[in-house]
Every structure is written in structure tokens, then in C-alpha cells.
Structure 1
Amino acid sequence: MGYQQFTHRRVSVIYDDELVGSDCEKLFQPAWLARASGGGQVQRGTAVMFEYNGIQLVFKRYHRGGLAGRIVKKTYLYSPLADTRMWREFNMLREMREMGLPVPRPVAARCVSLPPVAYRGSLITERVADSQTLAEALCQGPLDEGLWEALGALIARFHRHNVYHADLNVHNILLAGGSDWYLIDFDKGAIRSPLSRQDAEGNVARLRRSLDKEAGRLPGFRFSEENWQILLDAYRAKMAT
């Protein structure tokens, strides 16, 4: 039991055989996903939630950004399979879970090569139970000091394991069960040896920008300078140990 991989024609799939079987490629088909999710559509920036064999799962498709993304939204210049975005994120999640870090369990990834030089792909992860994003939580009311401290310490914990999150924002942080923090969406992230101080500080600064942005955009968003200082103090204390 463990992780299995197969390739047929131009399609490659890697999957966790403790959760899904070799027929898991059907989970990536838009028509099947629409039925399983109650009408969910595979769109840019939108995760599709669905259930399979009693397990709550999350599907996402990788999309190009920037100017190139306006022309070819779902394909990328071809890379060796191990370097494709979905393979990298799948394996990064595996490695972080082996470190004991709170991230979603990777379930399956699919890459389709598009000769001569392009590919597209998708990733399926296990949904974090009883969770909401940091943005959603702050729209419901203020968080207590202990949660801000725990979040600061958690970010430091990832950084002490040399994990770089390419887009640490309020939508990529989950609060589960009202007390446990998770980080999600590690597309373009990396485990670096070592993680530079500049990259670590860049992650923290990115989160602050996200908090400020949503504080000015979302009704009822409860975030204060005091909250940030608690998070920052906890982060620095953990990094110093």
C-alpha cells in the first residue's frame, strides 16, 4: 500500500492507493465531477468539493496566469513529469505530511502532455474537515489572542522546516474545528535548503498585505494592529528557538 503511478498514452496519474484505486482517473473528468459535486464547474481559481467512497475531496485545475494565461489558460510549456506543477505540489504535500506539518493529504494528480511542448493537469486532495478560511473566520468575529499566537508559531514551524509558501494569504490558511491551523495551496511553493531569511520574511509580509486588503474589502472583517503584533511576536519567538 502507498503511492502508485501509471502512464498511458499521454496521460500520467499518481495516487494514494489507501484512498482511491487505479480507476481514479475518472475523478478528473468534468462530467463526472459535476455529477459528484452537485453541479460544480471546473473554473479558474475555483476549487470543486465532492465526495468519493465516503471521503470529502477537493479538486483544482492549474491555470496559467499573466498575459500568457489570457491566450492559453490551461496549458504550460512541457517539463519532465517530476517538475510539472501538479506533481511538484503532490510530492511537496507528501513530504510535509511526513514532517508532521498540518497540510491536506494528497490523493491524486493527473498530467496530460500536449505535444510538442505543453501540458495541463489537476490535483485532488483530501478536504480538511470542519474548516473555514482565515478570511471566513474573521468575517464572523474577532479571533482570540491564543489563535493569533498559534498561527504565528505555525508559520514559523513551516519556515523552520524550510517550507516556502508562494502565496500565503487569508484564503490559504484554514482554521479547523475552531482551534487548529492548516496551510493549503502550495502551487509554486518549495522546500528549500535552507529557506532564506528574505523568503521567510516575504511570506510574512505577503500575509500582512492580504489581511490589510481584505480588511478594506470584506464587510465585518475583524483584524487589528494588535492582532498582527501578537502573531508577529509569536512568529519571531518560535524562529529564535
Structure 2
Amino acid sequence: MMMQEQVREGTAGAILFDATASSQVNDDWFAPDYWCGRGALRTQSGGRGGVAVIDTPAGDCVLRHYRRGGLVAKWMGDRYLWMGAERSRGFAEFRLMADMIRQGLPVPGVVAARYRRHGLFYTADLITRRIPDASTLAECLAAGKFDGELAELVGALVARFHRVGIWHADLNAHNILVTATELYLIDFDRGERRRPAESWRLANLQRLRRSLIKLGAAAQGETAFEQQLWKPLLYRYELSFGTSDGGLL
């Protein structure tokens, strides 16, 4: 069924939602206490401050409240400078993911996004569909299940997004989901479409590489990591992307 985007405006902000998922989305949907009171909330670690898994009329979903990271978080917490509805974190990520879904890219379905104004600032939330029976690539690595075959699948996954100009702002092992039949990319906060360029593609891949090494993928030595994991990943990336000069190897 085609997505039907609708906006519901209120005195303090607005909600952007997919009316085919539910026409009853309101502010309660973004309140963990609302779902907790109905026995429909589960929490799981991940992201800044964690995310909430909620059992909604649209099915199992993930509720994420946007929070800043780094040193600025001490001063700003979960507040962002208001620069218009379409540039709010939740609306921007919702629109980008909806566009990717229309292109058939493997990302979670988007259900709703919200912003709430607070003077010159705003806070934001996003609800996406939960991918069932999925593990993060980081969890696969920790369990000893990250091998050359999975590395190739990861390379092919990243290539699909890069081929259509999708830049992921935080491409790391925690934002790649692995199921028995498919791999997914999640968390497109600050993600964007970019003109084709090897520079940003390579930088994106290097960010993933640093994540894997930080999580212990090179525990047996960097040479083993290169030969057993990284080269298979890059080989399948270039094969899927359609290049033949081996420039990223």
C-alpha cells in the first residue's frame, strides 16, 4: 500500500505521519508513559539514552527521542535550534526514509515524526517499524558470527545506498541490522542525498571500518582483519556499486 503522508498541527508543534499505518496518531504516541500504562512498552538499549519498543495499533514500533551527543549535550540536552518544520530532525529523517522506501531500499518503515516548539528551540521524536528477529552487526561481531560471507553482504548493502547518493551520517556496526533473509540500515538522523563523489563514499566506509576495529574485529591482528573481513567487504561493495578500477581496495 502506498504511503499517505499527513501533517497534524497543534499549538506547540506538529506531527507528520503515514495515514495508512494509523489515522489516530497523536501526542500520546510519543510518550513512553502512555504505552507503559497499557502494558505496551518494552525498552531496549541503543542510541543516546536508549529507545523504546512499543506495541501500537500499527504493529511493533521503535520510538526514538532525539538527543544530542558530545560536549554540546551538556548544554543543549535534547534541544535543537528551530530552523523550520522541514529541517527539524524528525521530519527530515521521516522524509528521507520515506523516499528510500519508495526506492525499495532496506530501511525500517516510518510511522510518524513530531516536533515540539520551545521558543527558539524544539525537541523531536520519530517512530519507525521494528525489524523482527534482527541483530545488529555489532552483536554478530561479539557473538563470533561476523565472517567473510557476512562482510560481503554488508559491502553490498552499503553500495545500494551509495549508488543512489544516500550518505549515512553515522555508518557504524550498531546501525546495520542482520536478519535471516535481509540486511537493513537504520538511524538516518542527519543523513542526506549527495551528488556522486568517491570522497564521501570512501569517508563513509572508513567510518564503518573504524567502528568495526573499535568493537574488536581486528582482535586477531590487522592483517587478518584486512584479509578475512575488510577486503571481502570492499570487493562486494565495488562489485555491487559497479566500479571496476579497484580504487577503494
Preserved CA contact (<8 Å) 1:163 1:195? no
- 1:131-162 per-residue CA deviation (whole Å, 9 max, x = no partner) reads 11001112222345332222111111110010
Q: 1:216 to 1:110 in 2, by over 3 A?
A: same
Moved more, 67-76 or 94-103: 67-76
Q: Which amino acid aligns with 1:32?
A: Y
SS at structure 2 position matched to 1:215: coil
Partners of 1:132 and 1:170 in 2: how far apart? 10
Is 1:125 aligned to residue 128 of structure 2?
Answer: yes
For residues 174-189 of structure 1, what are the structure 2 equivalents within 5 Å?
174-176=177-179, 178-189=180-191
Note if contact 1:134-1:174 (Cα within 8 Å) is conserved in structure 2: yes
Equivalent in 87, 99, 102 of residue 98 of structure 1? 102
SS in 2 for 1:21: coil
Change (3 A) 1:211 1:158: same
2:52 is aligned to 48
Closer/same/farther in 2, CA of residues 228 and 71 from structure 1, 3 Å limit: same
Deviation at 1:203, TM superposition (A): 0.8
- Counterpart CA distance in 1 for 2:46 and 2:28 is 14
Shift of 1:50: 1.4
State the partner residue of 1:212.
213
Matches within 5 A, 1:221-232: 224-225=225-226, 226-232=228-234
Is the alpha carbon distance of 1:103 and 1:72 closer, same or farther for their aligned partners in structure 2, counting shifts above 3 Å? same
Unaligned runs of 5+ in 2: 244-249
**2:96 is the counterpart of 1:64:** no
Aligned 8 A contact 1:133 1:175 in 2: yes
Q: Distance in 1 between matches of 2:47 and 2:183?
A: 27
Is the deviation greater in 19-28 or in 148-157? 19-28
The one-letter code sitting in structure 2 at the alignment partner of 1:133 is T
Residue number in structure 2 paired with 1:149: 152
Letter in 1 for 2:69: G
Q: Contact 1:147–1:179 at 8 Å: present in 2 too?
A: no
Q: Does 1:84 align with 2:98?
A: no
Offset of residue 197 of structure 1: 1.4
Matches of 2:52 and 2:196 in 1, distance apart?
Answer: 32
- Count of aligned positions: 234
Per-residue displacement from partner, 1:27-48 (whole Å, max 9, x unpaired)?
Answer: 1123114332147799933111
- Are the counterparts in 1 of residues 32 and 52 from structure 2 also a CA contact under 8 Å? no
Q: What residue is the counterpart of 1:25 in the other structure?
A: 27
The 1:42/1:24 distance shift into structure 2, 3 A limit, reads farther
Contact conserved, 1:10 with 1:113, CA < 8 A, in 2? yes
Contact in 1 for aligned 2:98/2:109 (Cα 8 Å): yes
Structure 1 residue 93: Cα displacement:
0.4
On the 8 A contact 1:42/1:60 being kept in 2, the answer is no
Q: Residues 95-144 of structure 1: CA distance to partner in whole angstroms, max 9, x if unpaired?
A: 011111000111000100111x1000100000112111001112222345
Sequence identity of aligned pairs in percent? 35
Q: Which moved more, 1:39-48 or 1:180-189?
A: 39-48
Alignment of 1:102-113 (within 5 A): 102-113=106-117
The CA distance in 2 between the partners of 1:71 and 1:196, in whole Å, is 35
Distance in structure 2 (CA, Å) of the matches to 1:48 and 1:6: 23
Change (3 A) 1:154 1:174: same
Q: Secondary structure at the match of 2:71?
A: helix
